Structure 1
Amino acid sequence: MKHNTIYIFIIVLFMGNFSFAQQTPGTKQTKPIAIIGATAHIGNGQVIENSVIVFENGKITSVNTTNPNTSGMTVIDAKGKHVYPGFIAANSALGLVEVDAVRASDDQDEVGFMIPHVRSLIAYNTESKVVESMRPNGVLMAQVSPKGGRISGTSSIVQLDAWNWEDAAIKTDDGIHLNWPSAFSRGRWWLGEPAGLKPNKDYAEQINEVVTFINDSKAYLKGDKTPKNLPFEAMQGLYNGKQKLFIHVNDEKGITDAIHFAKDNKIDQLVIVGGAEAHKVTDLLKQYSIPVLINTPHTLPASDDQDYDMPFKLGKLLYDADVLVGIQVGNAENFQTRNLPFYAGTCAAYGMDKEEALKLITSNNAKILGIDAFVGTLEAGKDATLFISEGDALDMQTNILTHAFIQGREISLESHQTELWKRYSEKYKNQ
């Protein structure tokens, strides 16, 4: 009897844990699916009313306004609704951090200062409840990026419906992340120093550390590579153009210095991440065709002398200057990544055309991350990673998803939050 009680307890405990586990990944698409009647937001600025979108074997086969022969297809009547390509969260910590206050669940910052060989992908947790909660807002892909140190490591891009990180990856080791030294530092008020900004006296030395690492790695790669040096070997992709260098920098001087540093070292694949003062150096950005992943608009100005609404209108300023721009979420709390569509909506509210703002989290991010050949827009030949919303997906009041697909697989839109919402809605509905 005692043993039976123990077995029952174990089964109940397992069932309790399972009920709050991540949703099982969707099953592979087995028959063609047609979405009919929706307003299709292609993701490249184009809108198709009363559209017909057909996808088969995980790929979009047609996007038009002609009713196809739907015999043998699963037909979704989406009249009055909207279809969008899956949103792409650039520079995120999704799957790397579960609870900020629990160090054991935080894998975004590894020990070390120059660690380009550290791959964030292998720490990606596909069963994260945080990852699960992104999908009901249309965030279906993410660049999983390391944080901390000077050279943080290597990022990869995943789709948010997988059993493991191997299945999740849609582009592995896409780039290396460098945290550029700040040209200014704040006074240490606790030591009696003025609290304002002052020039960073170690700025040149900190840059020289990076230059020395670059030079040493190039010398190593040209030699016999003994003894084996993993950090140096990880830099090879930057020099042969197979990887991008994501430089995290915000101030005007830092952006200028970072660009010249990259060009001096013949690193051509460069992306500015943050770029709070990128609007001051648009000529330089255009000269070298350097894209910018701006900070989330829902933040404070980067400095005391910036316009109060600069974070809201920065996307429009860069767009008007013909700079390729997208939105990244690295400076937001991990769970706030789900607000990605509303960040784009804020850019639209501050001057951008709605469809151009949509590109900040679809086609532009896909181009910047180098995955635009197969995602980012609703076009024939691309992955069927898309969703249907009852209304405008950039408006938090109307972005209510009814269906979502990743590579043609219909995915669950349930999450830990929706389960709790249903649970307590039922409890209080009659009170």
Structure 2
Amino acid sequence: MITEARSLLILFALLLAGPAPADITALVGATVHPVSAEAIENGVVLIEDERIQAVGADLPIPDDAEVIDLAGLHLYPGFVHPATQLGLTEISSVPGSVDTDEMGSINAALRAEVSVNHDSALLPVAVAGGVLNAHIMPGGGLIRGTSAMLRLDGWSWEEMVLQTPTAMHLAFPSGAAGDEDNEDLALIDETLEKARHWHAAEAAAARGEAPRPARNDQLEALGPLLAGEVPLMIHANGIAVIETALDWAEAQQFKRVILSANADVQYAAERLAADGIPVILRGVYNMPVRRWEAYDMAYVAADRLHQAGVLFAIGDSGGGMDVANARNLPFHAGSAAAHGLPKDAALKSVTLWPAEILGAGDQIGSIEPGKQASLFAATGDPLEPMTKIRRVWIDGAEYDLMRDRHRRLYQRYRQHQQAEAR
């Protein structure tokens, strides 16, 4: 009797639930901007099982597809933030909500994604600005640990992870502190040398040639970096520090290096292009550092990297107030475009190129078959501040833009003023 009653309850629940949603979604009528190809007027994008199945102008639409008319709008892939601490901090003046920096100098075993607050109020704000994926990085110390590429929606950090680990992070000593910075660099060198010996001993133990070394989580975590499986992201600001960091990385013979730097990186553009080292440009909205530099020094940096042939992505500082302002990422690229960077390169610098630099180019960054269906529909060029984002999809599921606190407040006070006017 209990089994029969349970079956009846399940049947009743299914009847109340109604028909299952269509497995295939067809976005039609918009101008599709794949980023990896020319724009498609009155395009069609077919989505199935969280992924893009087809993109084109005259695609046959399955009879059972849910058709969404986006006439008059422009469809773009979601922006990819190349370096941020979204989800690791909420209110900078409330210490309990800040989990960006780890104590100690050597934190190779740290994984940034496990500390991400999936319920952060800052995530929907970024999504409403078109930032649908973000590279979340750790802070604090010298060897800071690994980062991860996340989708900015999910019920847990596990659901949000798109790819991990993405890179091992190193804050290169600036040299400004003199002997203290020399000691820091010596500590980094010593740690890497110990890690090489530890992994050699571990390999010998696996072959039965030596006893297994004592467990060391920090040294073990450096294994993928030393094997070339994970790139090293070096954080360095100022041309002297950048040049020193590049010399050091070359001497260490790392197989894969990514440079995260300020606008001074433009002065090393030719070397970076020759060495094939990609760059995360940490923001455009900055003042000149030196008295002799032009007012637009930071704004033209992206174009100079592009002219030199450097693969780069545009970000912001990644921490502090820029976490709350991650939604402004496309405007950094738009400002670079206003100062010489070709418009198509500006768009790629916040979509396809960061995805490729961070090893996720086969999943996100453009509207192509096989990639995640994370895209948005906008009223025009999304690098322009006056453009409005009307609809968003993450992994094929439409995102409720009213989760954005900014939009809710706008509606609240707009309705109040309308009521006052009546």
Same fold? TM cut 0.5: yes
Which residue does the alignment assign to 1:228?
215
Question: Matches of 2:55 and 2:195 in 1, distance apart?
Answer: 48
Aligned match of 1:404: 392
Report deviation, 1:70: 4.6
Q: Distance in 1 between matches of 2:189 and 2:124?
A: 40
Q: Which residue of 1 aligns with 2:92?
A: 100
Alpha-carbon offset, residue 239 of structure 1: 1.1
| Structure 1 CA distance for aligned equivalents of residues 342 and 55 of structure 2 | 23
TM superposition shift of 1:69: 3.0
Superposed, 1:21-420 pairs within 5 Å as 30-44=22-36, 46-184=38-176, 200=178, 202-224=180-202, 226-329=213-316, 330-331=318-319, 333-398=322-387, 400-414=388-402, 415-420=404-409
Pairwise CA distance, 1:134: 0.7
Q: SS at the partner of 2:325?
A: helix
Amino acid at match of 2:132: L
Q: Distance in 2 between matches of 1:363 and 1:302?
A: 30
Measured after TM superposition, the shift of residue 50 of structure 1 is 2.1
What's the CA shift for 1:208?
2.2
Partner Cα distance (1:201, 1:276) in 2: 27
Paired residues in the alignment total 389
Cα deviation 1:215-273 (Å, max 9, x = unaligned) = 11111121245321111111111111221111001222222222222222221111100
How far did 1:30 drift? Answer: 4.2
CA distance in 2, matches of 1:354, 1:226: 54
For residue 183 of structure 1, report the CA deviation from its aligned partner. 3.3
Tell me by how many angstroms 1:206 deviates: 3.1
Aligned-residue CA RMSD (Å): 1.7
Q: Deviations over 1:18-74 (max 9, x none)?
A: xxxxxxxxxx97421112222222123632222111111111111111142352212
Q: Distance in 2 between matches of 1:395 and 1:292?
A: 24
Does the aligned pair in 2 maintain the 1:87–1:141 contact within 8 Å? yes
Q: Deviations over 1:304-355 (max 9, x none)?
A: 4332111111111100110001012325521111101111111111112222
Between 1:354-363 and 1:204-213, the stretch displaced more is 204-213
Q: Percent identity?
A: 31
2: CA distance between counterparts of 1:366 and 1:302? Answer: 30
Question: In terms of mean alpha carbon deviation, does 204-213 or 321-330 score higher?
Answer: 204-213
Whether contact under 8 Å (1:405, 1:411) holds in the other structure is yes
1:29–1:345 distance in 2 versus 1, CA, 3 Å: farther
Query: What is aligned with 1:16?
Result: none
Q: d(CA) in 2 for partners of 1:303 and 1:46?
A: 40
Distance (whole Å) between structure 1 residues aligned to residue 172 and residue 288 of structure 2: 19
Describe the shift of the 1:349–1:29 C-alpha distance in structure 2 as closer, same or farther (beyond 3 A): farther
In 1, distance between residues paired with 2:416 and 2:255? 58
CA–CA distance in structure 2, aligned partners of residues 305 and 40 of structure 1: 44
Structure 2 residues without counterparts, runs of 5 or longer: 1-19, 203-211
User: Partners in 1 of 2:389 and 2:104 — Cα distance?
Assistant: 42
What does residue 415 of structure 2 align with? Answer: 426
| Separation in structure 2 between the aligned mates of residue 182 and residue 341 of structure 1, nearest angstrom | 29
Contact kept in structure 1, 2:73 and 2:377, CA below 8 Å: yes
Amino acid at match of 1:392: D
TM-score w.r.t. length of structure 2: 0.88
Aligned-partner SS, 2:147: strand
